[in-house]
């Protein structure tokens, strides 16, 4: 069966384009989603299984032509987007398609020239409700990493004029690149929004589909992992030794306050005596 390319936006009642039939159908609250084994799964689970990866899917329609079921068949072998290499610490990563793009302000970005920086891509379009819903979180993320070697690119699949009209109403602090549909295809993006984190070596480390909430924490964790590797901190407890950037030990209550301020990132360190501690590194 030919590949059916779905533009999946994480909102029920959103139109879905089935390219094989060149007809438009709608995902509704009655649409059933199934995995490869035929088990019924949630729409969010379905999107996570298919976003960023080429899949063959089997749709089922009622007598009136209404879409009632979509089942994942298997990954399409010719377009799999899976880990293709292994990093020095044993972690897997994905090969990143080369790209050269220009944002709405005329600044150009080329993957090869971005080496040494962490690149965060968001593939989105202006009529996608969950893409819009998460923008306040993403604006806070940009603020949190201001001054760091992190580049945020908002890859809009709409043209420049339509994208700019949207930005006039809803500010988005990413560097916005219009007309990005072809690049989305290169990255095998099938769900919107999709977020991709590329490390300093130009390797794709993480791919996330987002339902519009909680994306700050996911991307923050991925960025810190790309930035600090094994020194990145996921959890901190009152039992940990925590220090400020002057080397002074601070109580756990101060850590909570500093972490919530958005101006500090916890990083694992070892002192001269070989004792592990957590440094609250200030974001410049």
**Digit-coded pLDDT (tens) for 14-60:** 334 333 333 445 666 677 888 777 788 877 667 656 544 445 677 88
pLDDT of 76 > 50? The answer is no
Angle at 62 between CA 44 and CA 70, to 5 degrees: 25
110-126: pLDDT as tens digits: 999 999 999 999 999 99
Q: What pLDDT is attached to residue 110? A: 94
- In whole angstroms, give the CA distance from residue 19 to residue 5: 6
pLDDT of 263 > 80? The answer is no
Supply the CATH classification number for the domain 81-229: 3.40.30.10
What lies within 8 Å, CB to CB, of 42 at 6+ separation is 33
Q: What pLDDT is attached to residue 73? A: 65
pLDDT of 13 > 60? The answer is no
Q: What pLDDT is attached to residue 153? A: 97
* Furthest C-alpha separation in the chain: 74
Phi/psi for 19 (5° steps) reads -70, -25
Domain ranges of the chain: 8-77, 81-229, 242-282
Element (H, E) at 181: helix 181-186
200 is written with which tokens? 């300093």
185-241: pLDDT as tens digits: 888 887 788 899 999 989 888 888 765 567 888 888 888 888 877 565 666 777 788
């Amino acid at each position: 069966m030919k590949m059916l390319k779905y533009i999946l936006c994480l909102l029920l009642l959103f139109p879905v384009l089935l390219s094989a039939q060149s007809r438009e159908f709608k995902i509704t609250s009655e649409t059933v989603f199934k995995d490869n084994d035929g088990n019924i799964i949630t729409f969010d689970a379905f999107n996570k299984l298919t976003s960023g990866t080429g899949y063959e899917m089997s749709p089922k329609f009622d007598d009136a032509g209404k879409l009632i079921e979509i089942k994942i068949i298997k990954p399409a072998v010719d377009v799999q987007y899976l880990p293709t290499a292994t990093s020095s610490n044993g972690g897997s990563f994905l090969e990143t398609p080369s790209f050269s793009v220009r944002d709405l302000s005329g600044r150009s970005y080329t993957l090869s020239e971005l080496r040494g920086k962490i690149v965060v891509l968001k593939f989105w379009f202006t009529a996608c409700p969950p893409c819009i819903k998460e923008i306040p979180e993403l604006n806070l993320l940009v603020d949190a990493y201001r001054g760091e070697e992190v580049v945020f690119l908002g890859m809009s699949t709409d043209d420049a004029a339509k994208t700019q009209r949207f930005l006039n109403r809803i500010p988005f602090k990413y560097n916005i690149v219009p007309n990005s549909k072809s690049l989305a295809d290169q990255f095998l993006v099938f769900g919107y929004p999709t977020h991709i984190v590329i490390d300093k070596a130009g390797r794709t480390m993480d791919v996330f589909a987002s339902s519009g909430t909680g994306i700050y924490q996911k991307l923050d964790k991925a960025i810190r992992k790309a930035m600090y590797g094994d020194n990145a901190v996921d959890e901190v407890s009152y039992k940990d030794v925590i220090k400020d950037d002057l080397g002074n030990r601070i109580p756990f209550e101060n850590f909570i306050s500093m972490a919530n301020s958005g101006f500090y990132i916890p990083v694992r360190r070892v002192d001269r005596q070989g004792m592990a501690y957590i440094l609250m590194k200030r974001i410049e």
